[in-house]
Structures are given as C-alpha cells and as structure tokens.
Structure 1
Amino acid sequence: MAGNPRNGRPYRRLVDWLRSQRLPCWLCGHEIGYELDARHPFSFTLDHQVPLSKGGSLLDPANARAAHRRCNSARGNRTATRPPQRASRRW
C-alpha cells in the first residue's frame, strides 16, 4: 500500500464508526467535544488500546478507543491507561 494507511478508506470508516458512537474518553472518563475543531485538546481522536508500535492492529475495531487529543498524546505508546497512584502522606 502506497502512502499513509491512516488516509485510506478503511481507516476513515473506522474513525467515522467510532465517532458516531459518541463515547466518553476511555482514558479519563470525561465527555469528548465531538463538535470541536480537530486541533482542540478536548476534541475526538481515535486511540489504539494496544499501541501500533507494540503490535496493535491499525484497523481492528476491538483495538480502537475514543479519546481526547490531550489524553491520547499524554499516553504516548504506553500500554497502561493510568500511571500507578501514589499513596498520600496524610493518613
């Protein structure tokens, strides 16, 4: 396949399918601004539960999750959804 596979019809179809579900962010649990400009930090992006760099599938709907742009970028290619919680010093 020539070019970027994320510009292809199957990938765009997957993004449209996920967007139509209007799910909350799978990382933080808050609502996503589906009507926001794509460059906005709280806009919708497709995140892969298993990152592509770790062997995740680009087009598998089971690997696709709705996320805020900011949450998706902060997660990077880590597989854990949240860093471990530190115990409070105040008991």
Structure 2
Amino acid sequence: MVGNPRNGRPYRRLTAQQRSLGLPCWLCGHNIDYGIRGPLAGKHPAAFTLDHLVPLSRGGDLLDPANARSAHRRCNSARGNRTSIKQPRASRRW
C-alpha cells in the first residue's frame, strides 16, 4: 500500500522550494507570513500553503514546479478545485 504522496520527500522539497521564493499569495496578491510554522501553521488562515494552478482533482501534477503556487491557507481553501479565480481588488477605488 502506498502512503500519502504529500508526506513524501519530493513533495516536501517542492514545498520548501516554493516557500523559499517568498512570493505573495497568487490568489489575493497580499504578502504571506512565512514565519508561521509548526502546529500553528495548519490552522492559521494567513499561513503559507502550496497551491496548484491546475487542481489535482482536475488532473494537475502534484510534483510539477510549474503547477506550484504560494497561497494563504484561507485563499487556497476558498478556491477549492475551481480553475477560475476572482481577480485581486485594486488598491484604491477608481
């Protein structure tokens, strides 16, 4: 029986590589607090999560760096497995 592929070394390496880039959330455009780690990161809405451009349930590749994106836990959860995303708000009203 094969274990969870998200617990494997290749997935952890991809997550570490994405985290090291220090990019803002690709969904909302705001900065991610990369300092949130450990048990708190699993529940904190502003923590970093690895998101996939093409959701895994839609055929996206789990370990493809071109499919990996940095996201807030809250934004990643809200997106679900949709392929379209709402555009980030403008910084001020026009």
TM-score relative to the length of structure 2: 0.85
Q: Which runs of 5+ in 2 are unaligned?
A: 88-94
Equivalenced residues, count: 83
- C-alpha distance in structure 1 between counterparts of 2:24 and 2:16, whole Å: 15
Which structure has greater helix proportion?
2
Secondary structure class of the residue paired with 1:58: coil
Alpha-carbon RMSD across the aligned residues, in angstroms, is 1.2
Question: Which one scores higher on RCO, CA 8 angstroms, separation ≥ 6?
Answer: 2
Paired residues for 1:47-58 under 5 Å: 47-58=51-62
Secondary structure class of the residue paired with 1:12: helix
- C-alpha distance in structure 2 between counterparts of 1:7 and 1:66, whole Å: 18
Q: Which residue of 1 aligns with 2:50?
A: 46
Shift of 1:82: 1.3
Shift of 1:70: 0.1
TM-score relative to the length of structure 1: 0.87
Amino acid of the residue matched to residue 16 of structure 1? A
Q: Which runs of 5+ in 1 are unaligned?
A: 84-91
Higher-Rg structure is 1
Secondary structure class of the residue paired with 1:45: strand
User: Deviation above 6 Å: which 4+ runs of structure 1?
Assistant: none
Q: Which residue of 2 aligns with 1:3?
A: 3
